[in-house]
Structure 1
Amino acid sequence: MEKEKFEKIIAKCVNGTASAEEQALVANYLDTFQQGNESWDSGEMGDKDLIGEQLYQRTQDEITAREEKNRVFKLRWLSAAAIFVALLSGGYFALRNNKPELTAQKFKNDVLPGSTKATLTLADGRQITLDEEKEGALTREGNVVVRKTRDGQLIYDMSGVAGSSKGKSQTAYNIISTPSGGKYMLILEDGTKVWMNSASSLKFPVAFTGYTRNVELTGEAYFEVARNRNKPFFVKGRGLDIKVLGTSFNLNSYASEPAAIATLIEGSVEVSGAGKKVLLKPGNQAGVSGSGISLVPHADLEEATAWKNGYFQFRDARLSEIMRQLARWYDVTVEYDRNLPDEEYTGVISQSVKISKVLEMLEQGGGVEFRIDGRKITVLSTEK
């Protein structure tokens, strides 16, 4: 990263004006540094200790402001600035108490973050473990060649097949599935880009040959739909259908969530579910459950798409909501030992860190502590 650009982002983090994506970018770099995978060049990146002190002070200011504004809740989770301090110095709590080995001592067991991995199920039932394949052509489905790129993307390409014709009948369907702890990105035959979150699957035709383009999603995905006014794109999720001509949107359709959530980034989509329809404009969010459709006119787009950009972002989120996301990304199960305090948490942290980092941050809010046993996380209340 160029020195000037890095300094500007650090300055924004210190004064509290950095976007969530900028915060995650710096968090990811600092975590890489802490793990010893990259050296810190003070001449290029600035004085590490000074940056840590500035971010620490920013955290203290925010703590004071939050306590003055609302004394009903304890500080529920540290801000992005605190997260940077944590990544820079081994944890905010460790810095404050001068115990840099706290995390390692407390969480002797740890869980690595997820990675790019998925399984492709072909029309004939054969399965391809994508993360084990090299780049290049993987298979041919009718007139479409399925390729894996150097950076791990999956592309359905009809252009390179001699004598191919989009008018030919193509009824074969493929399914791409990501496990817990996996993500993947693919480009469909029409040019539509799809980013798959953990524990998700997408069923789609090898080629779109009819008057519509139809796919089925389980879990969560971000879509950038190739524009084609003559052939609308439909996504079928849990209890809803989305109709779009060309747009970008996120769909969270996990069965474990209270509702299926569609968030529109740009363009327009029509969401149908629970016997109703609603037209979304950019920035709108629709939630579909058994009770109907709810509309959020000004959704937090960064929070809705944070997973796609490699970080967790929560705003006034319940602990159970946070733990569901952690369970999917780190491929763990979660058990609750006792009744937990009804707290809400706000924060941002990179998805590249081990789970102990996230758990330590949550513990700073008070009221809870965690135990790691293999791939099981137990949540315990510290309140009597």
Structure 2
Amino acid sequence: MHIPKEVQDAIQKVNSGISKPEDRAIITDWYNSFDDSSAVVDAATNEEEIKSRILQAINKRRSAKPLLRPLYFRIAAAASALLVMGYLAFRLYPDQPADLSIQAGVHLNYTDGEQQQINSTMEAFLDSTAFDNLSAYQKNRSEQLLTLSTAKGQLYKFVLNDGTKIWLNAGSKLTIMPAFNEQTRTVKLIGEAYFEVAKNEKVPFEVISDNQTIQVLGTKFNVKAYHDEASITHLYEGKIALNTPVQSEIVLPGQAVINELGRLEAKQENQSISKEWTSSIFSFFQSEYDRHTYQSLPVL
């Protein structure tokens, strides 16, 4: 099933809250071009009921008897899920003004107990040149831990004082260790983040997550390390050393490494899919519809 690019773009704009009437018309025309038996959604329908219907539809596809062309139907499921999300969004809230806020502010917590919020927008997140400079929040606090937290529906990208760029996915937490870029460059991650690490051979960059440590000099990689599932590390450029209490692995470009309770398994994988979330392109077929697939989707 092929989704025209203009339809993909329109769905993305609807999900981002920046759609125009012509974008909604594109989705409606494409939706009406199918002869299906989908139920008509009443605008007064309870939001929780709508979410439940969407998840039931996806789970029904997941449990269906496998056919001869599983990839085709997985992509078709992705298209259907994206279409339903976008279509319901503008059917339920057709008169709402465009809201560029991803969600409420990203939380910053310091060791001394102080908290701050950073407001981010989808427009800024999608701007390839726009990065928040985290140094502005670290003045006179280089000896403190700084923790960034995103809730469901929140996305944030920023640059560290060493020049490293980080995209933080929804439902994630990144802690920057004291004296960063002096003796060490160490961060701790819960959740998912994409890193473009600035090169510094004298001070290696470390990412510590549940049951593993990644050491790099300068490279591009994505780490998905939520507490309740296996960790997955994708490498795009350079080389990294991935260490657990029971195993070590040198990871090469194009490889994905799965960490199950410290046991590492490396394999070749479609690298573009794993970081689509950094462009706000939601991939429903990179995993078996696990709940984190929906982390960065806006709440209907």
TM-score band, normalised by the shorter chain? Answer: 0.5 to 0.7
Could you say which residue in structure 2 is the equivalent of 1:145? none
Give the aligned residue type for 1:155. Answer: L
Equivalent pair of 2:10/2:27 in contact (CA under 8 Å): no
| Cα distance change of structure 1 residues 220 and 55 upon mapping to structure 2, 3 Å threshold | farther
Equivalent pair of 2:233/2:256 in contact (CA under 8 Å): yes
Q: Distance in 1 between matches of 2:70 and 2:237?
A: 37
| Cα distance change of structure 1 residues 237 and 273 upon mapping to structure 2, 3 Å threshold | same
1:70 deviation in Å?
A: 1.6
Q: Distance in 2 between matches of 1:69 and 1:271?
A: 37
1:293 deviation in Å?
A: 0.5
Equivalent pair of 2:212/2:262 in contact (CA under 8 Å): no
Give the aligned residue type for 2:192. Answer: E
| Cα distance change of structure 1 residues 205 and 324 upon mapping to structure 2, 3 Å threshold | closer
Q: Distance in 1 between matches of 2:28 and 2:118?
A: 44
Equivalent pair of 1:30/1:84 in contact (CA under 8 Å): no
Q: Distance in 2 between matches of 1:232 and 1:23?
A: 43
The reply to whether residue 124 of structure 1 matches residue 112 of structure 2 is: yes
Q: Distance in 2 between matches of 1:283 and 1:307?
A: 18
Could you say which residue in structure 1 is the equivalent of 2:280? 310
Q: Distance in 1 between matches of 2:209 and 2:216?
A: 14
Deviations 1:116-144 (A, max 9, x none): 63111123221112229xxxxxxxxxxxx
Equivalent pair of 2:172/2:191 in contact (CA under 8 Å): yes
The reply to whether residue 40 of structure 1 matches residue 22 of structure 2 is: yes
Deviations 1:237-263 (A, max 9, x none): 111000111111111110011x11111
SS at match of 1:78: helix
Pick from 134, 145, 153: which aligns with 1:155?
Answer: 134
Q: How does 1:122-271 map to 2 (within 5 A)?
A: 122-131=110-119, 153-156=132-135, 170-205=142-177, 207-257=179-229, 259-271=230-242
Task: Report the identity percentage.
Answer: 24
Could you say which residue in structure 2 is the equivalent of 1:25? 9
| Cα distance change of structure 1 residues 77 and 48 upon mapping to structure 2, 3 Å threshold | closer
Q: Distance in 1 between matches of 2:31 and 2:115?
A: 51
TM-score, scaled relative to structure 2: 0.67
1:192 deviation in Å?
A: 0.9
Q: How does 1:92-111 map to 2 (within 5 A)?
A: none
Q: Distance in 2 between matches of 1:265 and 1:72?
A: 27
SS at match of 2:274: helix
TM-score, scaled relative to structure 1: 0.54
Could you say which residue in structure 2 is the equivalent of 1:325? 293
| Cα distance change of structure 1 residues 180 and 285 upon mapping to structure 2, 3 Å threshold | same
| Cα distance change of structure 1 residues 248 and 23 upon mapping to structure 2, 3 Å threshold | farther
SS at match of 2:116: strand
SS at match of 1:262: strand
1:205 deviation in Å?
A: 3.5
Q: Distance in 2 between matches of 1:174 and 1:25?
A: 36
SS at match of 1:241: strand
SS at match of 2:283: strand
Equivalent pair of 1:274/1:289 in contact (CA under 8 Å): no
SS at match of 2:190: strand
Equivalent pair of 2:135/2:161 in contact (CA under 8 Å): yes
Give the aligned residue type for 1:299. Answer: E
Equivalent pair of 2:11/2:27 in contact (CA under 8 Å): no
Equivalent pair of 1:274/1:293 in contact (CA under 8 Å): no
Equivalent pair of 1:176/1:202 in contact (CA under 8 Å): yes
Q: How does 1:77-88 map to 2 (within 5 A)?
A: 78=76, 82=80
Give the aligned residue type for 2:76. Answer: L
1:69 deviation in Å?
A: 5.7
Structure with greater Cα Rg: 1
Deviations 1:205-241 (A, max 9, x none): 3643544311111111111111111211011111100
Say what the alpha-carbon RMSD is for the aligned residues: 4.4
Equivalent pair of 2:173/2:189 in contact (CA under 8 Å): yes
Equivalent pair of 1:253/1:260 in contact (CA under 8 Å): yes
SS at match of 1:313: coil
Equivalent pair of 2:190/2:225 in contact (CA under 8 Å): yes
| Cα distance change of structure 1 residues 248 and 25 upon mapping to structure 2, 3 Å threshold | farther
| Cα distance change of structure 1 residues 203 and 50 upon mapping to structure 2, 3 Å threshold | closer
After TM superposition, the structure 1 stretch with the greater mean CA deviation from structure 2, 75-84 or 216-225, is 75-84
Which consecutive residues of structure 2, in runs of 5 or more, have no partner in the other structure? 36-64, 94-100, 121-129
Q: Which has the higher strand share?
A: 1
SS at match of 2:199: coil
Could you say which residue in structure 1 is the equivalent of 2:30? 52
